[in-house]
Structures are given as C-alpha cells and as structure tokens.
Amino acid sequence: MERWSGLAETVFQNYGRDQGLPHPVPTALVQDHDGFIWVGTQSGLARWDGYRFKSYTADLAVAGSLPSDFVKSLFVDPDGHLWVGTNSLALYDAAGDRFETIPLGPIAGRPDIGAITGDGDHGLWIGTEDGLRHLDIASRAVTALRAGAPQVGDLPAGRVQAVLRDGAGGLWVGTARGLAYRAPDGATFTAVPLPQATSADTQPTNVSVLFQDGGGRIWIGTIRQGLFVIDTPGASPHAVNPSATDLMGWISAICAAGPDEIWVGLRNRSIVAIDTRTGAMRPIRHDRTQPNSLAHDDIWALMRDSAGSLWVGGTGGLSYHPHDSGLIATVFGGSRPGGLSASDVFAVMAARDGRVWLGYFDGGVDVIDPLAGRVAALRPDPGRPEDALPPDIVYSMTQDEAGRVYIATRRGVYRADAAALAVRRVTLSGRDPAAPTETIVIHQGMLWVGGEEDGLHSYSMDGPGGTPGRPVFGGAPHDQEQLSDRTIRALLTVGDHELWIGTRNGLNHFDLAAGKVEHIAPAPEDPRGLPDPYISSLLIDRQGRLWVGTFGGGLALMTGRDANGKPRFRHFGIAQGMPHPNVCSLQMDGEGVIWAGTDDGLARIDPQTLEIRAVRRADGSALVDYFVGASAATPAGEALFGSKGGLTVVRPGTLPAWRFAAPVVITDLRVGGQAYPVGRLKKDAPLVLTPETDSLAVEFAALDYTSPGRNLYAYQLEGYDSGWIKADVTRRLALYSNLPPGNYTLRLRGSNRDGLWTERDMALPLRVTPAWYQRLWVRLLAAGLLVLAVVVVVRWRTRYLRRRQAELEHQIADRTADLRAANDRLLHLATTDPLTGCANRRHFMERAQDMVALANRHGTPLTLAILDLDDFKRVNDTHGHPGGDAVLAAAGRVIASHVRGTDLVGRIGGEEFAVVMPHTAAQGARLLADRVRQAIGDDCVPIEGGAAIRITASLGLAELRHGEGLDDLYARADAALYRAKEGGRNRVEMIQSAG
C-alpha cells in the first residue's frame, strides 16, 4: 500500500444544472474524435467543451430532435459518428446539427438500447431488451440475433446489457442470464460460465458491464454477483476478491484509471479503485463535507478521456478528475474516520519514527501514520491548563533526542511524550507560562523559543529528565534590542554555530560561537536587497544556499555578500512564476527540489535552473491557502504543507510538464447572425459570405479540460488582420462584419493549461462576395464623379479659407495667452485647499485611490495617516475664526515640510488632514508621524494683537493589506485616530497589516 493512499482523497470538479447540464443524472459518457465530451442524461444529451454545455432534448414537434430524453448508451464509431441509444437508436448528423432515428424493428418489452459497439467493418452491434441486433451502417439493414436460433449458438436469452469487441476482434455479449463469446472467425456464440458466489447459488449470472483494459484483460461486472476478470485469452474467468462486499452490488461501469488501476462504479455503492498489480482496493466515495469529493455514490457511467482524465456520471451530476502525475496527494481535514480530526492544519512535524504530528488552528494535535491513519491525539481542554493543550492555535512543534515533542501554542509551550499519551505545560524561567509562542526548535542541547510578542529565548535542556532548565545568558540574544522585532516567525539552525531568525521586521543572523547578531533590514526598493520585512519561512538547500520566504515580497535567495559584507538576494515573484507574493512555508523534498506553500497554491522551484512552476488543482494540488510555517519534510522524502482545509503531501519524484496537445475546435458558428452548423463546413472549401450575410462570429475552444481557465487563445484573419489577436478565455470569439470582398483565412489558436500551443492552427477559409456597388465599373464611375466634385469644391473653398486665415490667426494669438492663464488658475482652484495649500478632499481621494491600486498591483507597502488637531474648537472659541485659520495654515505648512515629494497631503475637512505614504511600511510611517506630531506641538502660531497659539495633534496610521481598497484602509486609519484621541491626544496610534 502506498503511503498516504488510505488517507488521501481523489479530488473532483463537479458539474450539474448550475453549470448547464440538462439533468443531474448523467447515464452515459463518450469522447468524440474532435475531443468533445458527450454526456447522456435522464433528460437529454449534452456536449461539453470545457466552458459550457450545449444541450439536445427530445421534442416531437421538431424534426431532427432526439427520439427520447433518457439516454442509455453512447458510442463513437471509427468514422467519428456519434450513436445515441435511448428508446430508439439515433445517429447525430453534424452537418445539420440534428439526429436521424434508425429503425431496428419491433422490440419485445421496453424498447431500450442499453449497449452499442462496433463490429470492425462499418457496422454496429446493439444490445436491446429482447436480444442482440446488428446494423449495417451503409444500407441501414438490421439483423436480429435471438437465443435458440441455429446461427446464434449459446447466446443467453433475454436483455443484452453489455457488448464488447475485444482487441483481437472477438465479440463478448453480457445479458441478464449470462455471458457469451464469439471468436473473430466464429459463426456462433459460446456460453462463458462465471463462478458462482456460493455453491447454493443457482441463479443465472446477470452481466451488466464489459471492459477490456490496456493489458488485454477482460473485466466482467454483474448485478449483485461480483466482479470477474479473464487475465489472458482463452483463460477461465475468476472472481476479483470474492470476499469484498463493496463489489457485490450493481456494477454499472468499469474503466481504466491508469496503467495499473481499474475503477469499478456501482449503483448506490460509489467507486472501487483496484490496483491490478497487488489487488489492493480503495473506495472513492462522496463526502458531503467536501465540495471536491465525488458528486454522489450512485454511479451510472465511467470514462477515461484522451488526456488520461476520469469522468464519472452519477446521480449527483458529472464529476471530473483531471489526469495528474500522482506526485501530490490531498488529505482533507475532518472528513474521513481515522484521518485528520480538524480541517485547518497550522503546524506540521515529521517525527523520527515516520509518523507525522499535526497541530490545528482550534487547538489539539493528531499523530498520523501515513499507512494506518490517526494513531494518537492530544485534545484541548480549557479546564486543565497544566496537563492538556489549550483550545487555541498550535503554531509549531519540535522533537528532542528522547522522542518527546515540544508544542508551541498561543498560550504557552507544552511537552508531550513520544506516544502522545500525556502532555504538560512547560515552565520556562523568566517567561510567562501562557505567553504566545510562534516557533520552537531544539539544537545542540538548547531549546530556542520564539515568541509572538516577547522576542527570542533560549534554555539549556539540562533540567531533570532533559527538561528546559536555566536560561542561557551571554550566548543568546536576550537583549531584544539586537533583534529587528519582538515577533519571531521563523527559526533555522545551520551547522553547530549558526541561527537564522525571521521576524515581522527583517532577518537576523546569530553567530552562536561569537554571540553576535547581524540584523538584515528589508530593502524592497533595492533589486538585490531583502524584498520585504515580514519573514515567514527559511530553508537551506543542498548547495548550502539560504532561501527566505516573505509575506508580501515573494521568495528570496541569498546569493552572497557585496564588498562591504552586506547580504545580497535574488528575488522571485509573480513575474518569475510564483503563484502569490505571500510565501507561507518552504520545504525540500527527498530529491532536493524546493517547494513553497503560498496564499494561492504551491510553487515548485528547480534548485539547478531556478525555474519556478506554479502547481495547481490539475497537477493534483486541491488546497491553495497555506499557513505560515506549517510544513515539514518526512524521512521518506515527502514535503508536507498544512493548509486551510487539510494537508498537502508532495511525494519525491519528477513532476512532468503537461504536454497534452489540446485540439482546437469551433464550438459555435454564426453567419449573418444565424446559427451555422459546424459540421456543414467542408475541408478546403471556403465559407462564403454574401452581401446579405456579411457578418461572421466564430466561438472556439482548446479542449484541455484539466484547467480550461488557464488555456490561451488567439486568432487572425489573414488578408485583413496585421497580426494575431489575443482572445479572453471567457470570450473566445472572433467577430468580423462588413469585410471587403476577397479571399481570407481565419486561423484559430489555442494552448493547453501550461501555455503549450497546438502545433497546427485551425484554418477556416472564407470568401466574401461583392455587393453591386462594390463591383469595379461602379467604383470607377463613382471615383470619376468624386474627383470632379472635389476639384470644384476645393477651388472655391481655398479662396474662402485664405480670407479667413488672416483674421483667425490674429484672434487666436490674443486668446491663447488668456486661456493659458485661466486654465492654470482653474486647475489650482479645483485641486487645492486655498487656506492650507494642501490637496482638497476631492483631489486627495482621487489620487489616493490610484496610489492604493498601484500598491496592490505591485505588492509594495503603503501607509495612510489621518491627523486631527486637538481641541481646535477651543482655538476658534478663544481667538475667533481668524485665529483658527492661522493655525490650520500653519499646520498645513508643517505637514508639507516633513513629508517626501512622493507623499500625498490633503485637507479632508475642518481640522482633519490625511497623508498617503507609498513604499512605506507601518514602522517607517510611524517615525514620520511622530516627527510631524512633535513639530506641530513645537510650532508657535502668531495672530493679530501679538498673541501666539500652541496646539497639538493626534494621528492614526494603517498599513495597506494586500487586496484592500481605500475605503477599508481609511476606516482602519480612522479607527487608529479614534484610539489616539481616546488615549489622551497628542499621540500616534497604528493598525498594522494582517499577518
């Protein structure tokens, strides 16, 4: 059994009525030669192109509609024709976008077409309620084969539910009374007996489905009598795991899920996946708590498409499982018995015994065996703070030499025994036992504790039983002023004497031997500096290089130091392929590949080429929102990442590039505003546009279903467009109207999900015929008359214009000077507050909106400050409005003199001002705000009569959160200002961005 396979979920994308499926029960599936997926349902037929369903339903009043809505079977013959089995047999006519009903003669009982396959020679074998029929496609001649006829042999009587033509040309027929086989050169059928479930079972075997896999094995599904297989030609059938109760239901569908796996679908029993090498079985079931699970357990149809992806039709809708390498597994939280007990995995630790410890957002720890599932757990209990975990975040875990595990929580540090049977709070000398602890690590007999608020601490592990004893002074940076911040987010030990410390405000390198700390400050404006202050994760690769994950600045690789010893970094962000600039955690798998968990999925970094690949759902990664520091590498070489929703497991191995060549097809064609069946187009024959039908609309798609939202599109009308025109994935439409007469070629391009374009563009030749007025002789005559008229008009007009020219030149010269001066005055008045010289409210809000949008787009910091003059009403009451105006004007001058040229200052109203500081994090903004506050308090404003006024100011600051708008940012800054007022005025309060 493969590690994690018993815990990992098979992830699906589900489609139903909300996406346009005509009925929520798909009953039959097939892929045609163009690459479209056809879905038969209980209420019509649908064609899927990756973006929308095109539905066909029965309507007796419309010629060419489906003969019946309940689709039982679908088949595409070698010539590419689609055959539909309902209560009649129908052939889809692509040229007319309609259906032709094929008479099969009278059928005893229900006239259902339950199975269709080809005969290898332009004919079909058709399973009906009263036996087997053969159709000669060219002549439409039908031959009925019923039990008991001499030319039939041992074909069982009754309903034919499954037909299969094997790779050698033999025909297998499954009926409600057994199985029969006809050799490729045989004239009659031979009964194939199947083993009975018990010696007392005398009922005939009810064969419901037949399938041949890539290894030539014939799989035989029955109704409530099990699953059978014929391993080699001529061998007898044998039961597949006869003791498996999951296989004793109604087997409705079988397909190959890969080279060594078979999926068996059952009505009301879900799917059983069978490893053909070992015989191991695993269920694939619907989980109502997980939107990415199988849509329903009642399975009607299974199909594997040309890209290797799996499609499942069931009572709950159409489920799609994209082909993936099997390298990445998803373990959802809180859904499977014996699995993860909660969904938000905030801490991950790989123990030396191969088990994995997981800590949760709401508290508690699970111990997971990758083969056996959950083997132990530590549950939170608020009533036992000393010997039970608190009901709060588990941030980090580490293991000592004796196997005991130290657990960092939001309410202190705890220690558990290796079996997770007991846990106790750890008392650390000189530290509050309930202090929030973000990260923890044991190194060289020392316990290093990184706090959420109180910096870094270190303790010797020389207490009784190896517990943390005396704090170590002189060796650890207990003087917190040496560190860049008191919030410790990441710790990384290197060798015996190095410790890297990541904080909310920069990176620190601690030389344990020398007792020295080097602070590496963020420098986002420097292309070779540390890109962001928030350090979320650290990693040393096999080449000894330091990788730094930041929360907002992407990923950084330390490349060395400059001549002055300053560390230099190489940046990796969105432009280099990272899925998101918030890097939450870093790990290295067993092959040395670096993986990063971000706020929008995983990233794979090749350590040799430094090429970055965003890993998405189509690669097998269903979770996208990872937590800071929640990752680990197992002794088996797996990289584990905790996420909102569960755990992602990355197995060591090569993640292959997606090379699937997605066919490009026309999904809808309109000529002159009217629908034009695509099947009517003839190869190498142009589509003719006449003067009456002079518009063209072509919708097209690249049929890579794994992640259609990532496909790329372009089109070009040769002879009209100068180059390729990109098309939006949501509007893959080439539109043209009023084209000049002539010959053109419309070329359509599409890519797969990784941007690999199809080798050959789809070409649609066009001919646009001329209207009568576009013919040559009409154009020549019109041109001659036009030239004559132009000559007359030009001569008259020239004389008139020369007279007017002299008059206008004089008037223009006079008025130009006046207009320039007026425009300058108007612009100043429209954008400036006349009293303070700052931007007025309207101009400030417009420019601030643009600055916030620019910071969000580039991922750069930005801080907003709101300033309010304290007790300003007292100034007006005492000195009148002239005094108040003098104070406001002085405040505007003070603010403007202390900000940078790139900052924006505005008077918002009354005594309230605002400052937008781009490229400035909250810490830098606070220094500036304090200088402004002090300068206003130190300023003495003279007024008439020799008096002077002193006044103070309160300021509120808020740093921009990623994706936040101006309104929310302003609200947070205003809340900070309110806090400053409530706190006594003449102070600065700050609300930082989220962690």
**Residue 149 confidence (pLDDT) above 80:** no
Least confident range of 365-374, 598-607, 718-727, 792-801: 792-801
**Residue 143 confidence (pLDDT) above 50:** yes
SS3 assignment, position 617: helix
Q: Residue 87 — pLDDT band, cuts 50, 70, 90?
A: very high
User: Which among 245-249, 493-497, 792-796 has the top mean pLDDT?
Assistant: 493-497
Task: Work out the average pLDDT over 363-369.
Answer: 97
**Residue 199 confidence (pLDDT) above 70:** no
Q: Are 135 and 94 spatial neighbours (Cβ–Cβ below 8 Å)?
A: no
Q: What is the pLDDT of residue 821?
A: 65
SS3 assignment, position 345: strand
Q: Which residue has tokens 């399973």?
A: 127
Task: Work out the average pLDDT over 612-622.
Answer: 91
Handedness of CA 655, 657, 659, 665 (dihedral sign): positive
**Residue 777 confidence (pLDDT) above 80:** no
Query: What's the half-sphere exposure (Cβ side, CA atoms, 13 Å) at 296?
Result: 17
**Residue 989 confidence (pLDDT) above 70:** yes
Q: What is the pLDDT of residue 106?
A: 85
- What Rg do the C-alpha atoms of the chain give, in angstroms? 37
687-689/762-768 β-pairing: parallel
Least confident range of 321-325, 417-421, 459-463, 500-504: 459-463
Tokens of 886: 């003098």
Q: Are 337 and 619 spatial neighbours (Cβ–Cβ below 8 Å)?
A: no
Q: Are 728 and 710 spatial neighbours (Cβ–Cβ below 8 Å)?
A: no
Q: Residue 816: which H helix or E strand, with range?
A: helix 776-831
User: What whole-number distance in Å separates Cα of residue 634 and Cα of residue 348?
Assistant: 10
Q: Name the β-bridge partners of 228.
A: 220, 239
CA nearest neighbour of 619 among 606, 604, 598, 633: 604
User: What whole-number distance in Å separates Cα of residue 870 and Cα of residue 952?
Assistant: 5
Burial environment of residue 803 by CB neighbours within 10 A (0 to 12, 13 to 18, 19 or more): exposed
User: Which among 146-150, 490-494, 834-838 has the top mean pLDDT?
Assistant: 490-494
Least confident range of 526-540, 593-607, 772-786: 772-786
**Residue 476 confidence (pLDDT) above 50:** no
Angle at 684 between CA 680 and CA 685, to 5 degrees: 55
Residues 916-960 have pLDDT tens digits of 999 999 899 999 999 999 999 988 888 776 678 889 999 999 999
Task: Work out the average pLDDT over 787-815.
Answer: 79
Please state the separation of Cα 43 from the chain's center in Å: 32
Query: What's the half-sphere exposure (Cβ side, CA atoms, 13 Å) at 163?
Result: 26
Task: Work out the average pLDDT over 784-798.
Answer: 85
Q: What is the pLDDT of residue 693?
A: 87
Q: Could you tell me what percent of the chain has a pLDDT over 90?
A: 74
Task: Work out the average pLDDT over 573-591.
Answer: 96
Tokens of 546: 């330091």
**Residue 688 confidence (pLDDT) above 70:** yes
pTM summary value = 0.76
Q: Are 911 and 931 spatial neighbours (Cβ–Cβ below 8 Å)?
A: no
Burial environment of residue 702 by CB neighbours within 10 A (0 to 12, 13 to 18, 19 or more): buried
What's the whole-number average pLDDT of the chain?
91
User: What whole-number distance in Å separates Cα of residue 38 and Cα of residue 449?
Assistant: 59
Q: What is the pLDDT of residue 992?
A: 65
Task: Work out the average pLDDT over 296-320.
Answer: 96
User: What whole-number distance in Å separates Cα of residue 50 and Cα of residue 10?
Assistant: 20
Q: Could you tell me what percent of the chain has a pLDDT over 70?
A: 95
Least confident range of 323-337, 485-499, 639-653, 659-673: 323-337
Print burial letters for 273-302: b (CB count within 10 Å at least 16), e (below 16): bbbbeeeebbebbbeeebebbbbbbbbbbb
CA nearest neighbour of 472 among 443, 438, 496: 443
User: What whole-number distance in Å separates Cα of residue 358 and Cα of residue 397?
Assistant: 9
- Count CB-CB contacts under 10 A for residue 360: 24
User: What whole-number distance in Å separates Cα of residue 381 and Cα of residue 362?
Assistant: 11
Q: What is the pLDDT of residue 132?
A: 92
SS3 assignment, position 720: coil
SS3 assignment, position 811: helix
